[in-house]
Amino acid sequence: MNKYIKHTFIAICVLAVAFACKDSYLDTPPQAALAGSTLASSKNGVNATLIASYKSLLGWTGNDAEGPWGTGPSNWEFNIAADETHKGSEPGDGDTWLTFELFQWSPDNQTFRARWVADYEGIVRANSAINTAKAYLAANPTEKAYADATIGEATFLRAFFHFEAYKIWKNVPYYYETDTDFQKANDQPVLPLVIKDLEAAIALLPANKTAVGRVDKTIATAYLGKAKLYGGDYTGALAAFNTVINSGKYGLVDSFYDNFSVAGDNNKESIFAAQTSVNDGDGNGNNSNYGERLAYPHGDSPYGCCGFKQPTYDLAYAFRVDTKGLPIPVDASTTLKRIEAGASDVLDPRIDYTMGRTNVPYLNWGVHKDSWIRGQGYMGWYSPKKNASANGDQTLSGGWAGTQLSNLNVELMRYADLLLMAAECEVEVGSLATAQKYVNMIRKRAGNTAQGSSSIKVAINAPEITWAKYNVGTYDVAWTDKVAARNAVRLERKLELALEGHRVFDLQRWGNYLEVATAYTAREKKVVPVLNNGSAPSAKNLVFPIPSSEVTRSGGKIKQNDGY
């Protein structure tokens, strides 16, 4: 497979840490680490350090005792705090994540520290790559173009990991390759620093990426738009998104499913993805989609374990459509129940590419069964489907987790995501007609294929489909109401991007998280009784708590988020 990540295990062995911090994981050199001067003596050394930075996109890198849980690139554990997934599994298993949907968040929850360590490990590696490239350039002044491109990639990655940390904690310290004091305060606005780094990266990056999985000006511009959107700069964000759209580099693939298949990896819709591999000589699968491994069907399913990340009843109901194929609102009048195979509900076909339903084919593994659900209804009867490998995909040989670990990429940003972010901006500062066009493009594509039994992709009206009636329509009446348009765009993000790691952060940045979470919980707890044990969401839940261990390590310079 032509992925740069297949060589990551070599790169990790030669990584040099860029900075240190007393009594912290930041000052622990990796095994067999070489000195920065050795790495900087050749392009191979510089490249290895940069590739190690990309490796951190997969999350956990074996650098901390907390393990990988909470560090997956899809952010699935954090999205348990939204309305699209439950913790899943069974009572007593993974209850540190149950607290997320019960709104009982604690700074001592190990998930927060695991993710903090993973993000800052990525930052360490990006800064190391910058310093190594600078040292190489000092010794080889004729290699400026190469060094600049490397620094551009590493600067993008530094921005990316800080942005991920910002999305979770908002108030985080920002580290540069020149820093010498690593007990930094978290008292500076983070988004302007992310934006500044992205702009610097764009100035240095090549117009086109030099290898699969790497970044270029266009990809960095897409993230510049996203960072500006998070900051409420709709005009600036739209300008960046339009640059990407007008580049002609990206488009929607014909089938929604192609975004979640090994055969579809790095297709024209994939703007940026965490590259994975299981054929690189690492028998532990550390370069696979490791962070997703618990989020598969359980029991006698082809994966065997572990039943986490179960889609909610509420999410399933969001895929119901009316006679025109448009979404039926889920509101206070909605009574949730399990949508059985063969039920009379007319559904958006994306439901059965997003979640497993019993007696409906699950990819090409045969039909989903109740026996695949861990806890037998404890948190519902749906299984996660996105990021699950199909029968025939390459998985890791042997071990209880063999079929869980595959070379299926994890999408970090795809073109549909960017179009919907652009549509948001068009609603706020641009054209409702353009926003409507973008949403309709995505909805039209959604109607191209559905999960079949003879094939994973069949026509939505194929005679073999007996378990559902599918329909997905477009908005054909011109949008004239800004509020209605905004709601339609937001709903489309929920449907199109479900289980991809965006939902909780979307709700928090939109400012309607507490409203949505309260209404959702009131509906869902009638079918998932454990939610009755939860606390009411409050203002403190607009941001997650900073790990208490990091507040201590900072010598008090890092201040805890309000309410914790």
pLDDT tens string 315-371: 999 999 999 999 999 999 999 999 999 999 999 999 999 999 999 999 999 999 999
Q: Where are the alpha helices (DSSP H) in 411-547?
A: 415-429, 432-446, 482-496, 503-510, 513-524
Position 178, amino acid: T
Q: At 561, which helix (H) or strand (E)?
A: none
Question: What is the distance between the alpha carbons of residues 348 and 174, in angstroms, rounded to a whole number?
Answer: 42
Question: What is the distance between the alpha carbons of residues 68 and 72, in angstroms, rounded to a whole number?
Answer: 7
Check pLDDT > 90 for residue 285.
no
In this prediction, residue 68 has a pLDDT band, given cuts at 50, 70 and 90, of: confident
Longest dimension (CA), the chain: 71
Question: What is the distance between the alpha carbons of residues 443 and 306, in angstroms, rounded to a whole number?
Answer: 32
Structure tokens that stand for 234 in this block: 């709709």
pLDDT tens, 378-433?
999 999 999 899 998 878 766 556 778 889 999 999 999 999 999 999 999 999 99
Q: At 470, which helix (H) or strand (E)?
A: strand 469-470
Please give the class, per CATH, of domain 1-564: mainly alpha
In this prediction, residue 25 has a pLDDT band, given cuts at 50, 70 and 90, of: very low
> Which of the pair, 398 or 281, is modelled with greater confidence?
281
What is the reported pLDDT for 460?
Answer: 98
What is the reported pLDDT for 123?
Answer: 97
What is the reported pLDDT for 182?
Answer: 87
Secondary structure string (H, E, C) spanning 33-59: CCCHHHHCCCHHHHHHHHHHHHHHHHC
Domain locations in the chain as residue ranges: 1-564
Task: Identify any residues that bridge with 411 across adjacent strands, giving them in sequence order.
Answer: 273
Q: What is the DSSP letter of 502?
A: -
Segment 116-136 mean pLDDT: 96
Check pLDDT > 90 for residue 148.
yes
Q: At 88, which helix (H) or strand (E)?
A: strand 85-88
Percentage of residues in the chain with pLDDT exceeding 90?
84
Segment 114-125 mean pLDDT: 95
In this prediction, residue 291 has a pLDDT band, given cuts at 50, 70 and 90, of: confident
Average pLDDT value for the chain: 91
Q: What does residue 369 show for φ and ψ, rounded to 5 degrees?
A: -125, 155
Check pLDDT > 90 for residue 36.
no
What is the reported pLDDT for 405?
Answer: 86
DSSP for 369-380 reads: -GGGSTTTBBTB
Q: What is the DSSP letter of 543?
A: S
Q: At 310, which helix (H) or strand (E)?
A: strand 308-311
What is the reported pLDDT for 283?
Answer: 73
Q: 87 CB contacts (<8 Å, ≥6 apart)? A: 80, 94, 95, 97, 98, 100, 101, 308, 309, 310, 379
Position 280, amino acid: D
Q: Is the dihedral of CA 106, 112, 114, 116 positive or negative?
A: negative
Segment 474-484 mean pLDDT: 98
Check pLDDT > 70 for residue 512.
yes
Q: 189 CB contacts (<8 Å, ≥6 apart)? A: none
CB neighbour burial string for 268-287, b if at least 16 within 10 angstroms, e if fewer: ebbbbbbbbbbebebeebbb
In this prediction, residue 234 has a pLDDT band, given cuts at 50, 70 and 90, of: very high
Check pLDDT > 50 for residue 90.
yes
User: How many other CB atoms sit within 10 Å of the CB of residue 333?
Assistant: 7
Helix (H, G, I), strand (E, B) or coil at 383: strand
User: How many other CB atoms sit within 10 Å of the CB of residue 71?
Assistant: 25
**Tokens 């795809």, located at residue:** 414
In this prediction, residue 282 has a pLDDT band, given cuts at 50, 70 and 90, of: confident
Task: Identify any residues that bridge with 270 across adjacent strands, giving them in sequence order.
Answer: 414
What Cα–Cα distance (Å) separates residue 241 from each residue in 136, 232, 425, 434, 497? 34, 14, 9, 13, 18
228 alpha-carbon distance from chain centroid: 18
What is the reported pLDDT for 342?
Answer: 96
Structure tokens that stand for 130 in this block: 């910058």
Segment 448-471 mean pLDDT: 98
Task: Judge contact between 202 and 219, C-beta under 8 A.
Answer: no
Question: What is the distance between the alpha carbons of residues 529 and 499, in angstroms, rounded to a whole number?
Answer: 22
Q: What is the DSSP letter of 29?
A: P
What is the distance between the terminal CA atoms of the chain, rounded to a whole angstrom? 46
What Cα–Cα distance (Å) separates residue 368 from each residue in 96, 346, 355, 467? 28, 20, 10, 12
139 alpha-carbon distance from chain centroid: 39
What is the reported pLDDT for 397?
Answer: 67
